[in-house]
Structure 1
Amino acid sequence: MEPVSTHQADRSQTVVEWHRNGGAAVVESLIAHGVDTVFGIPGTHNLEIYRHLKLRGLRVVTVRHEQGAGYAADGYSQVTGRQGVVLTTSGPAVLNAVAAAGTAYAESRPVLFLASGLASGAEGLDSGELHDTKDAFGAMACVTKWSRRAESTEDISASLADAFWQLTDGRPRPAFVEIPHDYLAGSWRGEVAQPRERRQLPVAPDRIEAAADLLIGSQRPGIVVGGGARGVSSLVRELAERLNAPVLTTCNGKGVLPESHPLSLGANIRLESAHTWANTRDALLVIGSELSDSDLWGGTITNSHIIRVDVDPAQLRRNASPAIGLAARAEEAVPALIDAIGSRRGAARDSDAAALRGVFASEADELGLSWRALHAELRAALPSDVIITGDSSQSTYFGTVHYFPVDQPNSLLYMPRSATLGYALPAAIGAQVACPDRAVVAIVGDGAVMFSVQEFATAVEQGLGVVVLVANNGGYREIREQQLSLGIEPVGVDLVQPDFAALAVALGGYGEVATDAADVARRAAAAIGRDRPTLISFVC
């Protein structure tokens, strides 16, 4: 690669001629793997990476906290179907990103965490070097699928190529690469390691045939889809229609089958009535779901007629044992099932989907009725393809999940297994960066938004018209209710909160206060497409 030169935007200074160093190896490797956007914060030890980012045309989104970078990259990854990239400096910056990496691991999301590290040979010496931390690499390694510390400047590109391969080979999960800062400054003479093809996971034909026979022969078929089915939305629809089989989804699978479809049962898998339905199917196809407690909320799937599709062979027998297990990606298994079914169709029978939706709605109302009116107003007012983000707040798991129907996957960005706070706002930023022409709305509780409210300034700086709806109930209502149910006098849950609308204005955006559900929806619709973010606070 030939050296190039450029000028800063104001043309007042000439930028130093391009350096072919370790920082360049990083940026050229990112470009080779299709990366055009990074989320992070520059620091003393990663500046040789930042030297090349703007020069090579990458978009740099500077967040206000590294945890926000991780959640923004997570949101970006979901709506693009590509890897998200987080760039931090060494030591405490890495530790700040650990929670986000843990969330990406729990939710099976391909996010690359890339950090500078202590100088080569300094790790573990406790010598007091700048940003010296006992074992920042080990901390991140504990919550990621794969991790590596580059062994030389020449090893940087190969390390990154291996990381990108790990992100999507098998179960998608985060990877971490740490590069000693002296390697970033060192001369790079090598070539860019090129992307590797992920392995094919062929499905045994006899298992496919057995699964197809079980589905065709069933009188009460059903389909459960999780996040692992998000890439096969149209195929899930075709399969459901051939079998006349209702489709129930997890939170991460919400919208894989359009929720306006007659066979959709929505993202109601946590409900007891949904468990009863699943356990009484004489063939239950489960695609890309853990069927975990975070999905089922204390329920269990004990059906003995399960066909389970999962890219992770170890997952096939966790939480529910299948009659037939297909260790494959949904992109490989579902087309094979459709081909095996061929022209055969399920018996002409009533799916009972409409009646089931009524049953599920009644049960959802037992805990979530107070959120129904708000979401009905929002659904009527917002664009059909709006992207909603949520925290582990009642507004999401009692509200959006059940009462805000969507017709495409990745329309609700949420993390039901990690169940963290501080996710919704930075995830909305990542989604808006990825999809500037779509409306993006974060619906979040007042307690949760305070974990990452500083990222509102990031949205201002980036000129992103995200809309943030803050449901203000004066603290941590869910935890307060749990304390009361256990006979504990509420402690630590009633919080002093700021004037959220004024805070939004102080951070450079728009701030408003709504009076009721209809007013929230009207204001949210009006805020879409603005030149900067809008925060709308309302009491609930």
Structure 2
Amino acid sequence: MQATDNHTKSPQTPRETHSPSCAQVLMHLLRQYGVDTVFGIPGVHTIELYRGLPGSGLTHITPRHEQGAAFMADGFARATGKPGVCFLITGPGVTNAATAMAQAYSDSIPMLVISAVNRREDLGMGRGRLHELPRQQDVSRGFCIWQHALTSAEQLPETLARAFQLMRGGRPGPVHIEIPIDLFPAPMPGQLDAYQAAPAPSLPGAGSEAVATATKWLTAAKSPVILLGGGAQHCARPATELAEKLAAPVFESLAAKGIVDEQHPLCGGANLSFDCVRERVEAADVVLAIATELSETDRNLVRENYRFSGKLIRVDIDPAQLVCNAQPDLAICADAGATLQALAAGVPDAGESRRQTAAAEVESLRHTCRSEWWPGSEGRFPWVLALRDALPKDGILVTDSTQLAYNTNHALPLHQPRSHITCTTGYGTLGFALPAAIGAALASPRPVIGLIGDGGIMFTLGELAAAVEQQLALPILVWNNSGYGEIRDFMDDAAVEQEGVNLRAPDFVALARSFGAEGCRIERPEQLCEAVAEAFKRKGPTVIEITAP
């Protein structure tokens, strides 16, 4: 009887009798920093890392490829503004995620990548250990804003504090932290509750002299223009207020699409690539460029930059960007939101008459843009209109590099910040939209639609299984033009014989059903609304194959 009593008494848990492990402190601190979801694939090198996961309060999502993990983290970050987090194994986990990390770096997306690395005594020794890379940090050095390899477990709290300060306090991007596999179970001093997150940094405001100068120039301007970039996602209200007070047209980069409601009469949308908008920007007597690179990808691959004839004011959190691609007359290194608030408070109201005149000008520019479509895109325009009707007003559109997405960039109005998640700018990888849409759908209660081509979806098709597991009501539109249609067009334009661009696509409907998802095929734009509405009702993703005209 005594033996039975001894057997039934549960021993104290290690957390009660021992110091917490490095892995446990990591999970605890992630929660302290507001992380609730992590994306990763466990491996033999991360077994001890995952020992810290149960009971941590973190939700773990398992993709089918590490590239998918990082793309999901990217979509999660873009939908929320908070860092997306992924766990990677040593070696191939890092190299598999490299493309997605580079996309996040190009688009300034906060991403925390925590990877294993070989034991400390093996680092740099070339002993042929499992997953060994001679210099694993070199793989991600070119597309991370900061890297660090722990040499002791005690470095973890400070390392995480630095990582989050960098992602929250300046121009964001991926941070890569390597943890040797022998450190995951290493004991940490004290109790878990003693480990707390560092406070978020206060973002710098613009100096009073710079604000006064910008206010003076904008007040005197007769034909001002506001350009918004992706770094202004938190600036919807002050940007709209300033545009209304100045009676100034607003144009957005593709990364900024939706920050100002594109149905607002002063918003000219993401149409910076069109000649009529270029002429208007170049003719402005004052251009206020907020958190934008002024790069060719902001203009949808129009290489030639603007020739600003008036004064150029640039505002950016990153001082290097203030002189990149265009030299400003006034450079303000500060938080975009705080600067816009200060300017909106300082400029006088231009009056309703000027607002009506500016609104008429913007409507005329929109109409002219519609006449400047690329040759052959007229057949896609009805699909853009159908997608406009299918996407709820608070919806998020996640797009890949595919022909229909290039038209939605310009012709599909969006109404809120963080409504446009796209890889068609910057690094421009394929296969982004499916996993990024999964990340966005997990992050946000807003409805999400993914749009991807028949070529691009084959890069990350396996992530459909993760969407099925999570029971995401996620419509995935597959624009099936039997290959790499954009490259076909470029080959034709360059008089290059088509090679490698005409692909045999699988039966996407049957393929979706084999994953446990739903699938349907549509051929007419008027079928899209019903197909998307039905997809939102399901507990699980729906692949909607569109037969391209």
TM-score strictly above 0.5: yes
SS at match of 1:183: coil
Residue 267 (str. 1) matches residue 267 (str. 2) = no
TM value normalised by structure 1:
0.94
Match of 1:117 in 2: 117
Query: What does 1:450-469 align with in structure 2 at a 5 Å threshold?
Result: 450-469=458-477
Is 1:96–2:82 an aligned residue pair?
no
- Which residue of 1 is the match for residue 345 of structure 2? 339
Alignment of 1:145-156 (within 5 A): 145-156=145-156
Question: Contact 2:318 / 2:333 at 8 angstroms: preserved in 1?
Answer: yes
Separation in 2 of the partners of 1:388 and 1:202? 32
Q: Does the aligned pair in 1 maintain the 2:149–2:178 contact within 8 Å?
A: yes
Q: RMSD across aligned C-alpha pairs, in angstroms?
A: 1.9
Letter in 2 for 1:208: V
Query: 2:440 matched to which residue of 1?
Result: 431
SS in 1 for 2:372: helix
1:237-316 correspondence runs (5 A): 237-296=240-299, 297-303=302-308, 304-316=310-322
Q: Residues of 1 paired with 2:545 and 2:415: CA distance?
A: 27
Task: Note the C-alpha offset of 1:193.
Answer: 5.2
Deviations 1:113-142 (A, max 9, x none): 111111113122111111112322211122
Task: Pick closer, same or farther for the CA change 1:266–1:48 going to 2, 3 Å.
Answer: same
> Contact 2:246–2:347 at 8 Å: present in 1 too?
no
Contact 1:216/1:345 (<8 A) preserved: no
Does residue 395 in structure 1 map to residue 404 in structure 2? Answer: yes
- Contact kept in structure 1, 2:245 and 2:348, CA below 8 Å: no
Query: Is 1:325 aligned to 2:328, yes or no?
Result: no
Q: Does the Cα contact within 8 Å between 1:161 and 1:194 map onto a contact in 2?
A: yes
Instruction: Pick the aligned partner of 1:506 from 498, 507, 514.
Output: 514
Give the distance between the partners of 1:281 and 1:205, measured in 2 at CA: 25
| 1:275 aligned partner, one-letter code | R
Is 1:481 the equivalent of 2:472? no
| Residue equivalent to 1:356 | 365
Hey, what does 1:407 align to over in structure 2? 415
Counterpart in the other structure of 1:378: 387
Measure the CA separation in 1 of the matches of 2:13 and 2:99: 37
**Structure 1 counterpart of 2:5:** none
Q: Judge conservation of contact 1:243–1:347 (CA < 8 Å) in 2.
A: no
In the TM superposition, what is the alpha-carbon distance from 1:402 to its structure 2 partner? Answer: 1.5
Shift of 1:340: 2.3
Q: SS state of the match for residue 264, structure 1?
A: coil
The DSSP-based 3-state class of the residue aligned with 1:133 is coil
Task: For 2:229 and 2:222, locate their aligned partners in 1 and report how far apart those are by CA, in whole Å.
Answer: 23
Query: In the superposition, relative to structure 1, how do residues 353 and 93 fare at CA in structure 2: closer, same or farther (>3 Å)?
Result: same
Query: Is 1:419 aligned to residue 428 of structure 2?
Result: yes
Between the aligned partners of 1:364 and 1:51, the Cα distance in structure 2 is 55
Q: Following the alignment from structure 1 to structure 2, what is the Cα–Cα distance between the partners of residues 203 and 155? A: 34
State the partner residue of 2:201.
198
Tell me the SS of whatever aligns to 1:94.
Answer: helix
Aligned-pair CA distance for 1:369: 2.4
1:198: Cα distance to partner?
2.0
Gaps of 5+ in 2: 1-9
Q: Answer whether contact 2:231 2:336 (CA < 8 A) is retained.
A: yes
CA contact (8 A) 1:104 1:173 kept: yes
User: What is the Cα deviation at residue 368 of structure 1?
Assistant: 3.2
TM-score with structure 2 setting the length: 0.92
**1:169 counterpart letter in structure 2:** G
Q: 1:40, 1:63 within 8 Å by CA — same for their partners in 2?
A: yes
Change (3 A) 1:312 1:49: same
Q: 2:541 aligns with which of 525, 533, 536?
A: 533
The number of residues matched between the two structures is 526
C-alpha distance after superposition, 1:207-264 (max 9, x if no partner):
1111111111111111110111110101111000000001000111101110110001
Alpha-carbon distance in structure 2 between the residues aligned to 1:25 and 1:44: 20
Give the CA deviation at 1:498: 0.8
Classify 1:513/1:17 alpha carbon distance in 2 versus 1 (closer, same or farther; 3 Å).
farther
Matched-pair contact (CA < 8 Å) for 2:396–2:418: yes
Q: Which amino acid aligns with 1:300?
A: N
Greater displacement, 322-331 / 338-347: 338-347
Q: CA, structure 1 residues 15+449, in 2 after alignment: closer, same or farther (shift >3 Å)?
A: farther
Tell me which amino acid in the other structure corresponds to 1:204: G
Tell me, in whole angstroms, the C-alpha distance in 1 between the residues paired with 2:373 and 2:416. Answer: 22
Separation in structure 2 between the aligned mates of residue 288 and residue 148 of structure 1, nearest angstrom: 28
Could you tell me how far apart the structure 1 residues matched to 2:421 and 2:376 are?
Answer: 21
Quick check: 1:443 aligned with 2:451? Answer: yes
Letter in 2 for 1:368: S
Residue matched to 2:40: 40
